[in-house]
Structure 1
Amino acid sequence: MAATVLNVETAIRLLKDTISELGFEVYPLKVGWYNALLPASLRLAHPDDTLAVVVLSTPAMFEQTFLPFMEDGGFQGLTDPIDQCVKQCISAAVSRCFPGQTVEVSYDYEMLPNRKPKFLAQTAAHVSGAAFYYQQADVTDQPWAEKKMFGVCVHPRFGGWFAIRSLLVFEDVTLGPDVLQPVPPDCVPTREGRIKLLESFNHRWQDWSYRDVVPPVQTYSQRQRDYFSTLPAQRFALLKTWGFLPKEDQQSEAVSDTQGSHG
């Protein structure tokens, strides 16, 4: 594709055509929608009308993309295998689809020098309409007193069986004032349901139950569950039992602080 004028419809179509079959979903948003919810220290350094796109991985990504990536020897043994696979896929898609365009790509596991995340994945997913970000403030008459409860995103089709992987900012593409911010589907509208969701996510996330808060159209395969149930430091050993060997001996895990961290 030549470096011509790019609009939001073209950008989204090109991305979908390239990475949907790999098990990813893409959702556009305005930088201003995201920045409006955050303090200055966490905002993106771009004009409010700039196009951004949040990229999610669906349950299909593991078998359709990650395992072939491992089989083909793409893993170098230097960082988290899933992170490396996602980065390779998205970087290749951006290079192929948008030559000559300035696209800032951030991943869920990346940190700034001040140790703050490059972007808040769940906030980005919420303002794009991809998934509803349920937080403590969304529960009336909270039963937790002064205790901190971490929030969690719920996808209308996959429930909790997905991960937020990346944010793309198209520095030369703007969205007009006629583009309205979508409202993410409120999959858990009741107080009781939200209490159950947040308690399951905060206290029992290892049992996977929070992921089934809505009936999902697809869940993780048993092999994928085995992988994400394994402690990050032990995943290399698991991959070796599956026949996948890293090319290097250096095996330092980069564990995400966002919804990508547990798969």
Structure 2
Amino acid sequence: MATSVDVLVQPFREALNVLGFEVYPLKIGWYNAVVSQAHQLQYSADTLALVVLSTPSMFEKVFLPFLQKNCCQGVRDPIDQCVAQTINSCVSECLHDQNVEISFDYEMLPSRKPKFLAQSAAHVAGAAYYYRPSDVQDPPWGNKKMFGVCIHPRLGGWFAIRALLVLKGVEMGEALQQVPPPNCVSSREARIELLERFNLRWKDWTYRDIIPVEERYSPQQKEYFITSPDQRGELLRQWGFFS
């Protein structure tokens, strides 16, 4: 079924935008072309998918109000529950006539592989450039294992990739053309600095500011994410939640 991407996506995108999320369309074929066979998704190449990012404002717009409703006691990760509830609600409201398969960034297959490779999905959708060691010629770290990281053209590293939605049976054909993500860390020196900050000094978060950014996490949001997951429940109690 060929259709216009704007007709399908725009209401969903607008509903999430006001809550601090961004939505980018892609074709499954774009994703499958850049991942190993073990991670490929079993849909036709033209099947429409949507990758969802959270921006810094999501914390204040959605997460804190979610906590104020006191509806997530005993949950493994309140952020995960909040994001899932928000995206599911918007799918029910805006994509209710579609068969949508939702995979969240924290979900794993029985094989312990992630349900989707979030950074690869964001890259092929044009949302954020996925910088990998292979993007650096003659890397100074030699054969040392280094991980790649996505950088958003406006938010730098101050964002998270939250979900991939597959609209089963919706095929785009020529209606959706691939646009590469902005290459905002273009020099070899800057890429080296980015990857070294991310791999060797990730706790100081300076990799997130590798480029000038429009928005960062608030002090309260930083405190939350700096806190180890097993201590976040106590932090939320200190903030007055879960009393």
TM class by shorter chain equals over 0.9
1:160 is the counterpart of 2:172: no
| More displaced stretch, 230-239 vs 170-179 | 170-179
Letter in 2 for 1:214: I
Q: Give percent identity, aligned residues only.
A: 57
Aligned to 1:23: 20
Aligned to 1:87: 84
Shift in Å, 1:178 = 5.3
Letter in 2 for 1:111: M
**CA distance, structure 2, for counterparts of residue 137 and residue 184 of structure 1:** 17
**CA distance, structure 1, for counterparts of residue 163 and residue 70 of structure 2:** 23
> Closer, same or farther in 2 for the Cα pair 1:16/1:222, shift >3 Å?
same
Aligned to 1:189: 186
Letter in 2 for 1:12: V
Shift in Å, 1:177 = 2.8
User: Is the 2:12–2:95 contact (alpha carbons within 8 Å) kept by the matching residues of 1?
Assistant: no
Shift in Å, 1:6 = 5.9
Residues 25-52 of structure 1 show CA distances to partners (whole Å, capped at 9, x for unaligned) of 0000000000001121100111000000
Residues 127-170 of structure 1 show CA distances to partners (whole Å, capped at 9, x for unaligned) of 00000000000000111111110000000000000000000000
**CA distance, structure 2, for counterparts of residue 36 and residue 6 of structure 1:** 23
* Aligned with residue 113 of structure 1, among 110, 115, 136: 110
Letter in 1 for 2:111: N
* Aligned with residue 51 of structure 2, among 49, 54, 57: 54
| More displaced stretch, 130-139 vs 93-102 | 93-102
User: Is the 1:51–1:174 contact (alpha carbons within 8 Å) kept by the matching residues of 2?
Assistant: yes
Shift in Å, 1:11 = 2.1
SS at match of 1:22: coil
**CA distance, structure 2, for counterparts of residue 38 and residue 119 of structure 1:** 10
TM-score, normalising length: structure 2: 0.97
**CA distance, structure 2, for counterparts of residue 119 and residue 153 of structure 1:** 15
Shift in Å, 1:180 = 2.1
**CA distance, structure 2, for counterparts of residue 82 and residue 104 of structure 1:** 20
- Which stretches in structure 2 are left out of the alignment for 5+ residues? none
- Which stretches in structure 1 are left out of the alignment for 5+ residues? 247-263
**CA distance, structure 2, for counterparts of residue 76 and residue 233 of structure 1:** 14
* Aligned with residue 145 of structure 1, among 123, 142, 146: 142
TM-score, normalising length: structure 1: 0.90
User: Is the 2:28–2:46 contact (alpha carbons within 8 Å) kept by the matching residues of 1?
Assistant: yes
Shift in Å, 1:64 = 0.5
Letter in 1 for 2:235: L
SS at match of 1:169: strand
1:129 is the counterpart of 2:126: yes
RMSD in angstroms over aligned alpha carbons? 1.4
**CA distance, structure 1, for counterparts of residue 115 and residue 73 of structure 2:** 24
**CA distance, structure 2, for counterparts of residue 76 and residue 113 of structure 1:** 27
Aligned to 1:101: 98
**CA distance, structure 2, for counterparts of residue 207 and residue 230 of structure 1:** 13
User: Is the 1:8–1:173 contact (alpha carbons within 8 Å) kept by the matching residues of 2?
Assistant: no
1:169 is the counterpart of 2:172: no
Residues 30-86 of structure 1 show CA distances to partners (whole Å, capped at 9, x for unaligned) of 000000011211001110000000000000000000000000123142220100000
* Aligned with residue 224 of structure 1, among 218, 221, 225: 221
**CA distance, structure 2, for counterparts of residue 184 and residue 141 of structure 1:** 24
